[in-house]
Chain A
Amino acid sequence: MQSQTNSLAKRRAASTRNAAIIFLVPAFLFLIIYIAYPIVYSFNLSCYNWNGFASNKVFVGFNNWKELIGDDVFRKAFLNNVIIMVLSIIVQLPIGIALATFLDFGGKKLNVFKVIWFIPMLMSSVAIGYLFKYALDASSGIVTGISKAFGGHSIDLLGNPKTALLTITVAICWQFIPFYMVYFLAAYSSIPSDLYEAAIIDGAKKSQYFWKIALPLMKPAIKSAIVLSMVGSLKYFDLIYVMTGGGPGTASELMATYMYKNAFLSQRMGYGSAIASGMFILITIISLITIKALNRKED
């Protein structure tokens, strides 16, 4: 009797495993073809000089990597990425939480705001880029218009190396705050409502509920949001590409735009691959450290 149930359980486990394998194979194949293979291939390409279409690639060993380590523009691009990362985390997440809290406490009557605030998330990055570019146009944009209405000069935010990056960061925040708003709304809905009721019955104020109960319960969500925002900022590309193309000069250059320029505009596919691989290594290391650090605090 004992042995029979045992073998039944075994058979069941085996068939689950087979089914799992069959279902996972397609996804796994896609991952290999579109994620794993390109990563390995760009590491391989980073050891060649290649213009992107010639049939002969010249093997140059680690020359591209040596150049990358000494490359001031890449270093600057990395620093720009870090600036965007830090600003994104300290601006987007708190505002996202604030909006989510407002909507959660307000209930159904605030659904209008939920829809309105979510709109930026529905627009494509390229559309947002052009929108901001026209709004910030130094001769006929909104900012200049306001300044001129008060008798000021025209204001050039995107063409000025000192302000270009910060200006784009504002646009990035505008684009992604709705995402974190929805994200934290979901986190709120995962908090059981009896906790809220119990707290209120025990005489807690709404602010006490937020700081003492909701926020600690959302900690795991906040942690993943930090990692998400971090990785997203480090490989950021689209708004910068549309709004300044990394310029003026290299003022708003990011690692990804620099990679694109080298690989596709300068036709240095090998060096571009070295940048891409360098980015991959940097982002992996930073993410691992952050995840470790965030998890350690929990213990």
Chain B
Amino acid sequence: MNKNLKRIASVIMTVAMVSTAMIGCGNSTSQASGGAASGKTKLTLWHIQTSTAADAIKASVKRFMEKNPQYEVEVVDQVNDSYKQKLAMAMSSNQTPDVFIQWGGSGLIDYVNSNKIADLTDLMKKDNYKDKFIDAGINQCSYNGKIYAVPVENVSVAGFFYNKDVFEEYGIQEPKTISELEAACDKLKANGVTPFALANATKWTGSMYYMYLATRFGGLNAFADAASGKGKFENPAFEFAGNKIQDWVKKGYFIDGFNGMDDDSGQARQALYKGDAAMDLMGSWFTGTVLGENPDFMSKLGFFQFPALDGSKEDQSLCAGTVGDNLYSISETCKDKEGAFKLIQSLLDDQALQDRKKLGKIIPLKDFKPDDALTQKILDTVNKAKGVQLWYDQYLPAEVAEVHKSTCQEIFGLTKTPQDADKELQSAMDAYKAKNK
């Protein structure tokens, strides 16, 4: 009898253990299918905004749910760093969030070819909604003539942010040409100030210098041709960029130990705030970061476009960056695409526009008017530009982009010659092309 009791107990224990495992599995599937029991349509939204910008999204979503009580929206704040991997994981298991952000470029092409992203062309054309956005923004959301996203967040172009106090102290004007920039750097160096703050363990930060120098030398075509296979990365434009960077590194223009520093944890910004370094080449989200992190510094913050290359025949107004930054898309598996589209639109309702303007964002709308002079200056730079070079690491296919970032870091570290780096990048591109014919 006693033995039987024990046996029964052991069976119960086992069932309990196994079933907890089952409950674990059950939960994750029910999350994916949405809480249909409550009678509401559930939508999930993934974004990567932080602090006040994330609050703005939350507020928009709250207004959306009040106006459309049939929806229940789950907002998930993701971290920039691991976002792409998480999204890929969700896509591979068909649990793609209904609304998610992406950056266009090769990522968008991959999502379209894998049939994971919804075609929004008809929804965008309804009531001429797409005409509200500036054309470059819509271009970035499009592939093969179809629109797959809404450029909600920000016009982000890279440019030099600088500490006005430092420039004033040494009587330096905003440089218009690269030779003026170098003269300014030498002057700063002579006075014990490091010209450029850079945290290049992050890699895409150094890529901005490379990208701008190559664009100033070879225009948009040098890169577009190399990426499409019409041209090559072993090209004077990229060699110029690499040589210039190494020249600047040797002259000590960058802060000490930049290749070991991390931009996400603000190691470069610290140097700029303290006045140890004078300039930081960064995307225009920089104003938002400073606003959130060190608002007192805003009054000292200046901006100028990456200077022109003396004597170059190429267009020197070009910007590097993205028009829209985070593009909001809808998953192919979303059950209520119209509802999801309405949700995206709610992120740009009148109240949201006010909220976002306060955060220093430049929303890619044709009639957008910023409140402060700094943002206006960035917007003017974009409006003057004849074209925008999309970030190399978004434009290139992921595996080639990784090679670019790594070789570019080695150019900065003086452990690879520009020629070898370009050769390596070209062979990565060739290998990718050979595989994906």
Mark A residues whose CB is within 8 Å of B: 15, 19, 22-23, 25-26, 29-30, 49, 51-55, 130, 133-134, 136-140, 144, 153-154, 156-161, 164, 244-245, 247-251, 261-262, 264-268
- Pick the residue among B11, B21, B116, B402 that contacts A266 (CB under 8 A): B402
CA distance A265 to B404 in the complex (A): 12
Mark B residues whose CB is within 8 Å of A: 3, 7, 10-11, 14, 17-18, 21, 84-85, 87-89, 91-92, 110-111, 113-116, 200-201, 203, 255-262, 265, 267, 270-271, 276, 398-399, 401-402, 406-407, 409-410, 413, 415-416, 435
24 chain-A/chain-B pairs, Cβ below 8 angstroms: A15-B7, A25-B18, A26-B14, A54-B113, A54-B114, A54-B116, A55-B114, A134-B265, A139-B255, A139-B256, A139-B267, A139-B271, A154-B257, A156-B260, A157-B260, A158-B257, A159-B413, A160-B259, A248-B259, A251-B415, A261-B402, A264-B88, A265-B398, A266-B399
Query: Which chain A residues border B14 with CB–CB below 8 Å?
Result: 22-23, 25-26
A85 to chain B, nearest CB (A): 23
Query: Which chain A residues border B18 with CB–CB below 8 Å?
Result: 25-26, 29
Please name the 10 residue pairs, one residue from A and one from B, whose CB atoms are nearest each other, closest first.
A138-B257, A159-B260, A158-B260, A156-B257, A53-B91, A159-B259, A266-B399, A54-B114, A249-B410, A267-B398
Q: For B7, B84, B398, which residue has the most chain A Cβ atoms within 10 angstroms?
A: B398
**Judging by beta carbons under 8 Å apart, are B260 and A249 in contact?**
no
Query: Which chain B residues border A51 with CB–CB below 8 Å?
Result: 88, 110, 114, 398
**Judging by beta carbons under 8 Å apart, are A138 and B10 in contact?**
no
Closest residue to B277 on the A side, CB-wise?
A139
Q: Secondary structure of the A side of the interface?
A: loop
B227 to chain A, nearest CB (A): 16
- Pick the residue among A30, A160, A251, A268 that contacts B21 (CB under 8 A): A30
Q: For A51, A144, A153, A156, which residue has the most chain B Cβ atoms within 10 angstroms?
A: A51
**Judging by beta carbons under 8 Å apart, are A244 and B402 in contact?**
no
B297 to chain A, nearest CB (A): 17
**Judging by beta carbons under 8 Å apart, are B262 and A133 in contact?**
yes
**Judging by beta carbons under 8 Å apart, are A249 and B257 in contact?**
no
B402 to chain A, nearest CB (A): 5
CA distance A217 to B50 in the complex (A): 56
- Pick the residue among A154, A248, A265 that contacts B409 (CB under 8 A): A248
**Judging by beta carbons under 8 Å apart, are A139 and B21 in contact?**
no
Contacts A55-B115, A249-B416, A264-B85 given; indicate if A138 touches B260 (C-beta within 8 A). Answer: yes
**Judging by beta carbons under 8 Å apart, are A248 and B265 in contact?**
no
- Pick the residue among B110, B201, B398, B415 that contacts A245 (CB under 8 A): B201
B283 to chain A, nearest CB (A): 20
Q: Secondary structure of the B side of the interface?
A: helix
Closest residue to A21 on the B side, CB-wise?
B14
**Judging by beta carbons under 8 Å apart, are A247 and B17 in contact?**
no
Closest residue to B410 on the A side, CB-wise?
A249
Query: Which chain A residues border B91 with CB–CB below 8 Å?
Result: 52-53
**Judging by beta carbons under 8 Å apart, are A247 and B256 in contact?**
no
**Judging by beta carbons under 8 Å apart, are A267 and B88 in contact?**
yes
CA distance A292 to B176 in the complex (A): 69
Contacts A248-B410, A265-B85 given; indicate if A49 touches B261 (C-beta within 8 A). Answer: no
**Judging by beta carbons under 8 Å apart, are B257 and A52 in contact?**
no
**Judging by beta carbons under 8 Å apart, are A248 and B402 in contact?**
no
Query: Which chain A residues border B407 with CB–CB below 8 Å?
Result: 249
Contacts A52-B92, A154-B257, A249-B406 given; indicate if A267 touches B399 (C-beta within 8 A). Answer: yes
**Judging by beta carbons under 8 Å apart, are B260 and A52 in contact?**
no
CA distance A54 to B398 in the complex (A): 14
CA distance A156 to B412 in the complex (A): 14
**Judging by beta carbons under 8 Å apart, are B435 and A49 in contact?**
yes
Query: Which chain A residues border B413 with CB–CB below 8 Å?
Result: 159, 161, 248-249
Query: Which chain A residues border B271 with CB–CB below 8 Å?
Result: 139
B242 to chain A, nearest CB (A): 14
B154 to chain A, nearest CB (A): 24
**Judging by beta carbons under 8 Å apart, are A53 and B88 in contact?**
yes
A138 to chain B, nearest CB (A): 2
**Judging by beta carbons under 8 Å apart, are B11 and A22 in contact?**
yes
Query: Which chain B residues border A52 with CB–CB below 8 Å?
Result: 88-89, 91-92
Q: For A22, A30, A266, A268, which residue has the most chain B Cβ atoms within 10 angstroms?
A: A266
- Pick the residue among A19, A25, A134, A244 that contacts B201 (CB under 8 A): A244
Query: Which chain A residues border B270 with CB–CB below 8 Å?
Result: 139-140
Query: Which chain B residues border A139 with CB–CB below 8 Å?
Result: 255-257, 267, 270-271, 276
Closest residue to A53 on the B side, CB-wise?
B91
Closest residue to B402 on the A side, CB-wise?
A266
Query: Which chain A residues border B402 with CB–CB below 8 Å?
Result: 261, 265-266
Query: Which chain B residues border A265 with CB–CB below 8 Å?
Result: 84-85, 398, 402
Closest residue to A136 on the B side, CB-wise?
B260
CA distance A144 to B85 in the complex (A): 36
Query: Which chain B residues border A54 with CB–CB below 8 Å?
Result: 110, 113-114, 116
CA distance A15 to B276 in the complex (A): 76
Closest residue to B397 on the A side, CB-wise?
A267
CA distance A52 to B96 in the complex (A): 13
CA distance A140 to B270 in the complex (A): 10
- Pick the residue among B87, B115, B201 that contacts A159 (CB under 8 A): B201
A49-B435, A130-B265, A249-B413 known; 19 other A-B pairs, CB under 8 Å?
Answer: A19-B7, A53-B88, A53-B92, A53-B116, A133-B260, A133-B265, A138-B255, A139-B256, A139-B267, A156-B257, A156-B259, A157-B260, A159-B259, A159-B413, A160-B260, A247-B259, A248-B260, A265-B85, A265-B398
**Judging by beta carbons under 8 Å apart, are B203 and A247 in contact?**
yes
CA distance A245 to B339 in the complex (A): 40
**Judging by beta carbons under 8 Å apart, are A159 and B21 in contact?**
no
**Judging by beta carbons under 8 Å apart, are B415 and A161 in contact?**
yes
A199 to chain B, nearest CB (A): 47
CA distance A153 to B257 in the complex (A): 11
CA distance A160 to B87 in the complex (A): 33
Query: Which chain B residues border A161 with CB–CB below 8 Å?
Result: 413, 415
**Judging by beta carbons under 8 Å apart, are B201 and A267 in contact?**
no
Query: Which chain A residues border B10 with CB–CB below 8 Å?
Result: 19, 22-23
**Judging by beta carbons under 8 Å apart, are A250 and B406 in contact?**
yes
Query: Which chain B residues border A250 with CB–CB below 8 Å?
Result: 406
Q: For A144, A164, A245, A247, which residue has the most chain B Cβ atoms within 10 angstroms?
A: A247
Query: Which chain A residues border B267 with CB–CB below 8 Å?
Result: 137, 139
B280 to chain A, nearest CB (A): 14
A80 to chain B, nearest CB (A): 15
CA distance A92 to B11 in the complex (A): 45
